[in-house]
Amino acid sequence: MGKFMYMGRETKYITKIFKNANVKVAYATVNNLGKLLTMKTQKTNKYDGNGVYQLECPPCNKIYTGQTGQPFRVRFRKHYNDYKNANNRSKFAQHVIEEGHSFGPMNDVMKIVHAAEKGRMLDTLERFYIYRETKYGNKINDKLTVQSNPTFETLVLHNTYRGPPVNT
């Protein structure tokens, strides 16, 4: 018995040759009911994922928005190390140092706003969240990171985009 992945007309042509030689043919697919019904395993801890995050300065509630392809906990550690070592690589750490504010633990400071893989979609989501915080007057990010965007303006004006639910 021959098993073929159905790929269109070509598959029918090839399997006809086998059928003419008295070989039984079966078609297979990768898109089967078992795979469609199987639940994808979710990460047990939201900080193990990657995507867009926000760091909120506890004393003043100003917000830094960023994205990462690394686990969120790794990215948080880098911001914290920049704070601890007084490096100016992290805009959030720089803000906390310059204002004399406290840094706070990850559970209090970091909010996962959108879990996603690296790519253009993630870049757009990051730009939206920075834009939103700019309009709310909460932004820590560089001033150069915000450009006028009518779509973002509409979403912020009508407060319609809240993002997908995130595992807690």
Each residue of 130-167: pLDDT tens digit?
A: 988 888 888 898 866 677 777 788 888 777 555 544 44
Q: What average pLDDT score do residues 16-28 get? A: 77
pLDDT tens by residue, 38-69 = 545 555 688 999 999 999 998 899 999 999 99
Does the pLDDT of residue 7 top 80, yes or no? no
**pLDDT tens figures, 97-139:** 999 998 989 999 999 998 888 888 888 889 889 988 888 888 8
At the second CATH level, the architecture of 46-157 is 3-Layer(aba) Sandwich (3.40)
Q: What is the pLDDT of residue 81?
A: 95
What is the pLDDT, as a whole number, of residue 80?
95
Angle at 78 between CA 71 and CA 63, to 5 degrees: 85
- Beta strands 2-5; 25-28: pairing state: parallel
Q: For residue 90, name the pLDDT band (cuts at 50, 70, 90).
A: very high
Which residue spans of the chain are classified as CATH 3.40.1440.10? 46-157
How far apart are the C-alpha atoms of 58 and 96, rounded to whole Å? 9
What are the angstrom distances between the C-alpha of 41 and each of 37, 159, 167? Answer: 12, 32, 12
Helix axes 72-84, 91-99, angle to 10 degrees: 40
